[in-house]
Amino acid sequence: MITPTVADVIACPSCKLDLYREEHALRCVRCNKEYPIIGGIPILFPASSQLTVNPENLRTKTKSDAIRTINDMSSLDNGLVKQPRSYYLAYFLLVVFLVFKFYWGAMLLLLGFFVDWIAFRRKRSITLDRFVRNPLRLRTIADHYAVDELYRREGMTQPTMSDWVQLSREATGGSWRGGESDIPDDERYLDILRVYRERALPPEVVVDVGANDGRACYEFGIGKGRTFIGIDVSRLLLEEFKKKNPDQTAIQADGGCLPLKDDGVDFLFCAETLEHFTNPDEAVHEFLRVLKPGGWMMIQSPNAHRIRNLNLFHIITLFISLFTDHILQKKTVHENTWHNATTYHWDFSLQDYQRMIRSQGARILELRSSGFLFPKFLISGRRDLFRRKERFFGSIPFVRYFGSDLVLVVEKEALQPVVDPLARRIPRATHGLAKKPC
């Protein structure tokens, strides 16, 4: 639905100027480019992109293969805690030996931790290299179109985040049902809702980049009663969005080249999506460009500093990474759960976010982590215990940055009046956000 308010905000993705409505399309007033509207969803990509994958090589996965991928990714992110039980027995015997022969026990215990740490880093490095070498990597919009067509050919819909949570339950034999895997998924949206409500004035224009099926709006009420714009690269997901949010606006577009005017959005959030962009730096630049002065942006993404296991050397590595992130093994791409291609899946560090925001005419309101998921067995699915755990770990210096996700909240700085007394107006400022060709 393109309301008058939406019409005032959207723009040609190429030149960022006004669009006017035709019968089944939008057309730019300057470059005269036509953008089709299919099923009530405007398709606003700046230009046709090249296919970098062979669509004939794309395959959807069976449920068992998808579950295997989830378990492989879990193993990639966890070291000591995923090892066979013989490891636990060996460490227990070393601790017993430590009681009677302190020196040798301590040496053997440290040696065991060191060997486990080296083995985990080597395994992670090999797996990450395998992902990078996969020729089926989705790099362009055309590649993502090919995935949509793959699902259409097989009579499937594009899986949503809710589908992933359900499959994750099955990957553990249903032991996560009602458990902690459900909780952080809900708490993620509740965290966005908290920040959304903290603004002094209710946002009039709300944008969800990577909207998926629009769960943030229809289930958690973010943007309800306001102008809510959901942006996603997949039309299949946006068709689900329209079914569940019939009164809101869905736009098929590249989140790294937003079809929105400068300074037109009050609140923009990007939940678990920035990591999938080919160039996250340019995407953040775009997010800030479209924000109004005083507007807020919130990003949730994977944390490169997350506690992956309780190996002593891993913990030491994390403390060092708070000062230099070069020691981290950051993920760049990973294998998709649902098909055989790899997608970008960046791990971000504190230093990455600080660099992205630096000199962008914005200030960081919050930079923290969330989702302290280790160890799961202490929580047993109780939301109150989950929140207590989050508050406890979030209050400990240094450890507060070791959750599974990084959370960034940024405010775009307000316009400052010009100093020149001869100037009688405030020029349109870009806050250091000069327009770049997408």
315 part of a folded domain: no
The CATH number covering residue 389 comes to 3.40.50.150
Of the candidates 129, 134, 185, 144, the one whose C-alpha atom is nearest the C-alpha of residue 55 is 144
Q: What's the whole-number mean pLDDT along residues 369-387? A: 66
One-letter amino acid for residue 193 of the chain: L
Q: Assess if residue 427 is contained within a domain.
A: no
pLDDT, residue 232, reads 95
| 181 in a structural domain | yes
Contact by Cβ (8 Å): 376, 180: yes
Residue 102 has pLDDT above 60, yes or no: yes
Q: By C-alpha distance, which of 17, 55, 256 is closest to 142?
A: 55
- Whole-angstrom distance, CA of residue 153 vs CA of residue 156: 8
* Containing structural domain, residue 268: 4-44+157-303+348-412
**Residue 384 falls within a domain, yes or no?**
yes
Helices of type H across 209-279: 215-218, 235-244
Query: How many structural domains comprise the chain?
Result: 1
Question: What pLDDT band is residue 77 in, cutting at 50, 70 and 90?
Answer: low
For the chain, the residue count is 438
Q: At what angle are helices 383-394 and 182-198 packed, to 10 degrees?
A: 60
Name the nearest CA neighbour of 231 among 265, 282, 183, 197: 265
Q: Above pLDDT 70, what percent of the chain?
A: 83
DSSP 287-346: HHHHEEEEEEEEEEEEBTT------HHHHHHHHHHTT-GGGS----EEE-SSBSSEEE--
Residue 128 CB partners (closer than 8 Å, separation 6+): 76, 329, 331, 332
Does residue 218 lie within any of the structural domains? Answer: yes
pLDDT top residue among 270 and 372: 270
- Put residue 431 in one of left, alpha, beta given phi > 0 → left and psi -120 to 50 → alpha: left
Q: Which of 216, 298, 285, 273 is nearest to 250 (CA)?
A: 216
- 240 assigned to some structural domain: yes
Q: In which band, very low, low, confident or very high, does the pLDDT at 384 lie, cut at 50, 70 and 90?
A: confident
**Tokens 């996560």 -> residue:** 176
Residue position matching structure tokens 């026990």: 105
205-220 tens-digit pLDDT: 999 999 999 999 999 9
pLDDT in tens, 218-246: 999 999 999 999 999 999 999 999 999 99
Query: pTM, whole model, 2 decimals?
Result: 0.84
**Per the structure block, which two tokens stand in for 333?**
């791409």
- Looking at the domain assignment, is residue 146 inside a domain? no
Q: If pLDDT is split at 50, 70 and 90, which confidence band does 119 have? A: confident
Any idea what DSSP says for residue 135?
S
Label the pairing between strands 19-21 and 25-28: antiparallel
425 pLDDT band (50/70/90 cuts)? Answer: very low
pLDDT per residue over 145-163, tens digit each? Answer: 899 999 999 888 888 877 8
User: Where does the pLDDT of residue 331 fall: very low under 50, low under 70, confident under 90, or very high at 90 and above?
Assistant: confident
12, part of any domain: yes
Q: What is the β-pairing status of strands 19-21 and 342-344?
A: unpaired
Q: What is the mean pLDDT of residues 408-412?
A: 96
Q: Is 383 helix (H, G, I), strand (E, B) or coil?
A: helix
